[in-house]
Structure 1
Amino acid sequence: MSTPTILFDINETVLDLSILKPKFRHYMGDENHMSTWFAMLLHSSTVCLVTGTKTNFKSLALTALQSIAGRLNIDISDEGYRDMLGTFACLPAHDDIQPALIELRKAGFRLVALSNSSSELLESQLAQSGLRDCFDDAISVEQAQTFKPSKTAYQYALDKLQLQPSMVRLVATHDWDTHGALCAGLKAAYIDRSNAPYNPHYLLPDIVSNNMGDIAKQIIGKAQK
């Protein structure tokens, strides 16, 4: 029998983007531009996905930074952009992540990182955060020339792992991501890290909490029933 597997979204779910705020304050004058930048990055990846435009997460991240700087009439050097994107590769893990990963592995789950980040960026992020050994595998959906929440992205991960959707659960702090996984036939768990309402138009996972420790307990509890 296949080992039950948990896929983890990485950016914001596992890794804390708040370390980027001082960079945005320094280069753009307001740390709140970080949230706008990440939303623009996700929006542009979805547009490229829907229109079949081939690109990569790093290029889209830079384009979003340049777009915000243009709107603010701010001139940022190439070195400044490299500084901001370089920090994106060195994000720390949220405090509740590593203990939960350890508990899930003890309970017999296979843990896999699944990200829109490129393979190179994903490996750097996991290594810099000290979490690489916590994951059995790391999958970038860019290898399939797609982005989440495309069904193709989740199916790509399933194919690589040689698993059926019913054996896999995605953990994410983005409701569009958990919705995408559920639409692809996977189970899901939602971590509410922002206190924003879950989109009522999206499918709702059977596990919801505001911390990863409780998410892990619920996952283990359901597996034991």
Structure 2
Amino acid sequence: MKTTLAFDVHGTLVDATKVLEPLSEFLGEAAPQVFDTWKYKQREYAFRRRLMERYVNFSVCTQQALDYACMHHQVNLTDEEKNQVMEFSKSLPAFPEVREALLALRNMGFRMFALSNGPLHEVKDLLKQADLASIFKEIFSVEKTKTFKPDPAVYEYFLRHSHTGHKYTWFISGNSFDVIGAKNVNLKAIWIQRSQKTVMDPWGVEPDKTVKNLQEVVEFFKENRMK
């Protein structure tokens, strides 16, 4: 069986920090703090809804987290401005090296998939506008599992429906919770640490490989001759 590579999307393939551009336009110097709170609460809301067994799609978590961030920092974004920020977040650019690196990995013979917490139609549109969608054999969302990564059910669902096995699958993410989630179900995992300020959660779980960008993933597999 060929080796499967499964990629997270936000923060791994596309640059979520670019949404700071419209936020800065509307909020000025307050934008970075609002952004950090927004992204933190976005994940928290997804995790809390999983624990409560009250699933909504990830866009709802994103919208409610933005509302919270604005209230918390006491900034005023109009409904129209919030809509503009939300729409911008659906058309994020790929990191500079991503397309070339993904093509190189596909040409090496790997089975290529994307796996995201986002709604399937939004993830497909996001990857299409970033000129990445056609590289993948298939794009997966958590929607059919009614839960979110790092729930083991998400990774197991992916394995079943991509027709691959644990020992043949590498999961690649820029998010530490995602790497730990993949390792929890005995997948091999690569963590893309794009900033030295980003740290792995201190749970005693380590990725099989840590890299700075996707090009280093290509180099890793070339060196190890894994196909």
Common fold: TM-score over 0.5: yes
1:95-123 Cα offsets, whole Å, 9 max, x none, are 12111111111110011010001001101
SS at match of 1:62: helix
Hey, what does 2:221 align to over in structure 1?
Answer: 219
Identity %: 25
Question: Quick one: distance in 2 between partners of 1:95 and 1:193?
Answer: 12
Q: Could you tell me which amino acid in structure 2 is paired with residue 24 of structure 1?
A: L
Hey, what does 1:201 align to over in structure 2?
Answer: 203
Q: How far does residue 31 in structure 1 lie from its aligned partner after superposition?
A: 2.7
Note if 1:125 corresponds to 2:123.
no
Q: How far does residue 16 in structure 1 lie from its aligned partner after superposition?
A: 0.6
Q: Could you tell me which amino acid in structure 2 is paired with residue 169 of structure 1?
A: W
Hey, what does 1:91 align to over in structure 2?
Answer: 92
Q: How far does residue 202 in structure 1 lie from its aligned partner after superposition?
A: 4.4
Hey, what does 2:74 align to over in structure 1?
Answer: 73
Q: How far does residue 221 in structure 1 lie from its aligned partner after superposition?
A: 3.0
Hey, what does 1:26 align to over in structure 2?
Answer: 25
- Tell whether the 8 Å contact from 1:28 to 1:74 is kept in structure 2 after alignment: yes
Q: How far does residue 223 in structure 1 lie from its aligned partner after superposition?
A: 4.0
Distance verdict in 2 for CA 1:88–1:9, change over 3 Å: same
Q: Could you tell me which amino acid in structure 1 is paired with residue 184 of structure 2?
A: C
Q: Could you tell me which amino acid in structure 2 is paired with residue 93 of structure 1?
A: A
Question: Quick one: distance in 1 between partners of 2:225 and 2:182?
Answer: 19
- Tell whether the 8 Å contact from 1:150 to 1:180 is kept in structure 2 after alignment: yes
Q: Identify which range, 51-60 or 18-27, moves more after superposition.
A: 18-27
Question: Quick one: distance in 2 between partners of 1:173 and 1:197?
Answer: 11
Gaps of 5+ in 1: none
Q: How far does residue 138 in structure 1 lie from its aligned partner after superposition?
A: 0.3
Note if 1:4 corresponds to 2:6.
no
Q: Could you tell me which amino acid in structure 1 is paired with residue 55 of structure 2?
A: K
1:62-90 Cα offsets, whole Å, 9 max, x none, are 00111111123333222212111101110
SS at match of 2:5: strand
Question: Quick one: distance in 2 between partners of 1:52 and 1:211?
Answer: 35
- Tell whether the 8 Å contact from 1:179 to 1:202 is kept in structure 2 after alignment: no
Question: Quick one: distance in 2 between partners of 1:11 and 1:113?
Answer: 11
Question: Quick one: distance in 2 between partners of 1:115 and 1:73?
Answer: 31
Distance verdict in 2 for CA 1:100–1:158, change over 3 Å: same
Question: Quick one: distance in 2 between partners of 1:122 and 1:35?
Answer: 22
Q: Identify which range, 88-97 or 210-219, moves more after superposition.
A: 210-219
Q: Within 5 Å, which residues of 2 pair with 1:160-199?
A: 160-195=161-196, 196-199=198-201
Distance verdict in 2 for CA 1:132–1:92, change over 3 Å: same
Distance verdict in 2 for CA 1:224–1:159, change over 3 Å: closer
The size of the alignment, in residue pairs, is: 224
SS at match of 1:138: strand
Q: How far does residue 37 in structure 1 lie from its aligned partner after superposition?
A: 1.0
Q: TM-score, normalised by structure 2?
A: 0.93
SS at match of 1:31: helix
SS at match of 1:80: helix
Question: Quick one: distance in 1 between partners of 2:205 and 2:55?
Answer: 28
Hey, what does 2:144 align to over in structure 1?
Answer: 143
Hey, what does 2:58 align to over in structure 1?
Answer: 57
SS at match of 2:93: coil
Q: TM-score, normalised by structure 1?
A: 0.94
Q: How far does residue 159 in structure 1 lie from its aligned partner after superposition?
A: 1.1
Q: Could you tell me which amino acid in structure 1 is paired with residue 24 of structure 2?
A: R
Gaps of 5+ in 2: none
- Tell whether the 8 Å contact from 1:20 to 1:84 is kept in structure 2 after alignment: yes
Question: Quick one: distance in 1 between partners of 2:182 and 2:208?
Answer: 13
Q: How far does residue 136 in structure 1 lie from its aligned partner after superposition?
A: 1.2
